Amino acid sequence: MEVPNKFRIEDRVAKVALVFSYVLLLLGGLFGFLQVLSRTPGMPKLETAQLYYEGLTLHGVALAILWTAFFIVALAVFVITRELNINMNGPLLRAGCILAVVGSLMGAVAILSGQATVLYTFYPPLQASPLFFIALAIILIGTWFIGAAVLEAIWRWKKLNPGKEVPLATYGVFTTIAIWLLATPPLAYAVLFRSLPMSLFNAPVDVLEWRLWFWFFGHPLVYFWLVPAVTIWYTILPRVLGTEVFSKTAAKAAFMLYLIASVPVGLHHQFVDPGVHPVYKYLHTVLTYLVAVPSFITAFNVIATLEKAGRMRGGKGLFGWITALPWGKDPVFTGITFAIILFGIAGFSGVVNASFNVNYNVHNTAWVVGHFHLTVGGGVTLTFIATSFLLVPLLFGRDYVAKKLLIAVPTLWFVGQLIFGIGYHVAGLLHAPRRTFTAEAGYLNDPNLLNTLHLVGQWTPWLQLGAIGGVIFALGGALFLLLTFVSIFKGPPFRMDGAALQISPTPEKATFFDRLGLLVGIALVIIIIAYSLPAIEIYTRGLSPAPPYWPTGAAAG
């Protein structure tokens, strides 16, 4: 007899969030494809300058902020319901999801109608339509509702299970949501009290104050993407290999460090901003290196887990365990492991970015584009893609079609990312700028600037290599979306019952790590120390608001 699904409402929210995340991946990816060709000498120009910057805004907003966030919502709801086996607050969850979807659609309209060509960082004094900022505020409120539903469910579960440790995947979800809730209030302040008045009443904005609060949010945003990916590396990856994570304690220690050290580092995005004392920038540099520690812990833990799985499969000797793993056979394993390798490579350029003085050499160059495509586009997005191969059948009750083709998705993505990464990192070292429609940038095409032309000539092959890589991983993305949409509507039936699933290692007794309130308190103290100093500096000096400026060529300009 069919068991009724007790998570009907939660599953519906997760399904809406998941499908919406794939639509955003499609839209953002399409512009990625157009822009990587358009900005490369010798390749077809598929965009005009106006469309380039509109598309780039949509690319950043749709992929960096929204695709990741909607996938994470689906994952969080799935983990909480299946691992804790409890219902979530339906009205809160549903309201949050509706707000986030409506806000995203409003934002897309604002961008596509040329009313918000401000890139995903919307730095003032760049002016945009109020629709864009209202959309951002609505999305934020929606995510807070969803965050509240997740925390309430965990809190209720803890009350029902005194003395029991929080299971590992739920612990990762908690860390993710806590980081989001710690990071977003200053962003809400910047949007509601600075950007919105700027767009409604042309009110001037102090650029430095705004950027301080934007980057307060902007750095933890990357941990908001990464922690769910790491959660998958610690739980789902070992499961598909028939084992468990090498050290659960080290995994929890890593989550704890992510929680306490991922927010107070935002000044590392402002190394070149005048008006912030170098000592405060240095403090944030030190904290940035601290937040690299949990990533190192994760690297050791994941590799040890893979070694354990390889030896279980009969792998012998120093390297035999590597070849014993199901490379190229299991698309979930292959995708997640490729994602981890891409993320590991990106760690090297990340250390360069984080160095106070070396950063000056790569700031705002294509190097940065190479770096974050390997992290969020590689490590995170490929992990989410590979996890979809499991999540889509479980949630939609339909299996993947053409299963033999699935392995091509992580392979194309991995190879394309590596090539794109090499091309853009090297082009960046040669000072190819990011965020620039190179074909029409006056300073790059002025025949009197011989020196510049000389440099431009050197970038060309590397940008072309980047374009080849970009097209290859865009193809992987297109294949993934095609197979996923066909499977959701036409895939063969896949049975899912509404019962609990074992995602994490069996929970034991609670430990220090389960004192969640205390850990959030420690995080708050470090944040206050790291941010009060630059904030006092900026406010005591007094603000110097700048009048808004419509980007050239914008429809309302």
Give the catalytic positions in this structure.
Answer: 219, 223, 371-373, 434-435
The residue whose Cβ lies closest to ligand HEM is: 32
Question: Considering CB distances under 5 to 8 angstroms, the limit depending on partner class, which of Cu ion, ligand HEM, none binds residue 228?
Answer: none
Cβ-based neighbours of 131, under 8 Å, separated by 6 or more: 106, 107, 109, 110, 115, 116
* Partner whose binding site includes residue 36, from Cu ion, ligand HEM, none (CB under 5 to 8 Å by kind): ligand HEM
The region of 27-35, 159-167, 183-191, 217-225 touching Cu ion under the rule CB under 5 A is 217-225
Q: Around Cβ 528, how many Cβ atoms within 10 Å?
A: 12
Residue 473: both structure tokens together: 């991983």
The answer to whether the CB of 391 falls within 8 A of the CB of 18 is yes
* Whole-angstrom distance, CA of residue 448 vs CA of residue 293: 48
Q: With contact defined as beta carbons under 8 Å apart, do 205 and 546 qualify?
A: yes
CB under 5 to 8 A by kind: which of Cu ion, ligand HEM, none does 504 bind?
Answer: none
371 binds, options ligand HEM, Cu ion, none, Cβ within 5 to 8 A by partner type: none
Nearer to Cu ion, 219 or 239 (CB): 219
Report the residue number whose CB is nearest to Cu ion: 219
In whole angstroms, how close is the CB of 346 to ligand HEM at the nearest point? 12
* 378 and 410 Cβ atoms separated by less than 8 Å: no
Cα–Cα distances in angstroms (integers) from residue 305 to residues 130, 241, 308, 337, in the given order = 49, 9, 5, 12
Distance CA 530, CA 267 (A): 9
* Binding segment toward Cu ion, per CB under 5 A, in 26-34, 188-196, 219-227, 311-319: 219-227
CB nearer ligand HEM, residue 248 or residue 434: 434
Q: How far is the CB of 338 from Cu ion (least distance, A)?
A: 24
498 three-class SS: coil
Tokens of 535: 């904030």
Least Å distance, CB 81 to Cu ion, is 32
From the CB of 269, what's the least distance to Cu ion, in Å? 5
- Round to whole Å and give the CA distance between 164 and 484: 38
Q: What is the residue whose two structure tokens read 């405060």?
A: 280
Q: How far is the CB of 56 from ligand HEM (least distance, A)?
A: 5
Q: Binds 414, which of ligand HEM, Cu ion, none (CB < 5 to 8 A, cut-off by type)?
A: none
Sole window of 184-192, 212-220, 514-522, 543-551 interacting with Cu ion (rule: CB under 5 A): 212-220
CA 295/CA 520 separation, integer angstroms: 20
**What region does 44 belong to: left with phi over 0, alpha with psi -120 to 50, or beta?**
beta
Angle between helices 331-354 and 381-396 (to 10 degrees): 150
Q: Does 219 bind Cu ion (CB under 5 A)?
A: yes
C-beta closer to ligand HEM: residue 186 or 470: 470
Q: How far is the CB of 362 from ligand HEM (least distance, A)?
A: 13
- Which residues lie near ligand HEM (CB under 6 A)? 29, 32-33, 35-36, 39, 56, 59-60, 63-64, 67, 119-120, 369, 372-373, 376-377, 381, 434-436, 470, 473-474, 477
> Which of 74, 76, 59, 75 lies closest to 24, judged by CA?
59
* Closer by beta carbon to ligand HEM, 474 or else 523: 474
For residues 428 and 360, the answer to whether their CB atoms sit within 8 Å is no
Residue 239 binding target from ligand HEM, Cu ion, none, CB below 5 to 8 Å by type:
none
Joined together, the tokens standing for residue 335 give 């995708």
Q: Which amino acid is at 41?
A: P
Given the complex with Cu ion, which of 219 and 425 has the nearer CB atom?
219
If the CB atoms of residues 116 and 530 are measured against ligand HEM, the closer one turns out to be 116
- C-alpha to C-alpha distances, 73 to 14, 64, 296, 307, nearest whole angstrom: 7, 14, 26, 31
**Class of residue 523 by CB neighbours under 10 A (exposed 0-12, middle 13-18, buried 19+):** buried
CA within 13 Å, CB half, 324: 17
Q: How far apart are CA 231 and CA 205, in angstroms?
A: 39
CB nearer ligand HEM, residue 26 or residue 263 = 26
Which amino acid makes up residue 105? L
| Alpha-carbon span 89 to 549, nearest angstrom | 43
375 is in the binding site of which of Cu ion, ligand HEM, none (Cβ under 5 to 8 A by kind)? Answer: none
Q: Which is nearer to ligand HEM, 317 or 442 (CB)?
A: 442
From ligand HEM, Cu ion, none, interface partner of 219 (C-beta below 5 to 8 A by class): Cu ion
Tell the smallest beta-carbon distance from residue 241 to ligand HEM (Å). Answer: 26
Q: Which is nearer to ligand HEM, 81 or 417 (CB)?
A: 417
Rounded distance, CA 447 to CA 244, Å?
61
Least distance in angstroms from the C-beta of 80 to ligand HEM: 24
| Residue 59 interface partner, choices Cu ion, ligand HEM, none, CB cut-off 5-8 Å depending on type | ligand HEM
Site string for Cu ion, 52-91 (x = CB under 5 A): ----------------------------------------
Tell me the C-alpha distance between 179 and 181, whole Å: 6
Identify which range of 156-164, 199-207, 213-221, 293-301 contacts Cu ion by CB under 5 A. 213-221
Which listed range, 30-38, 216-224, 328-336, 451-459, lies at the site for Cu ion (CB under 5 A)?
A: 216-224
| List of residues contacting Cu ion (CB under 5 A) | 219
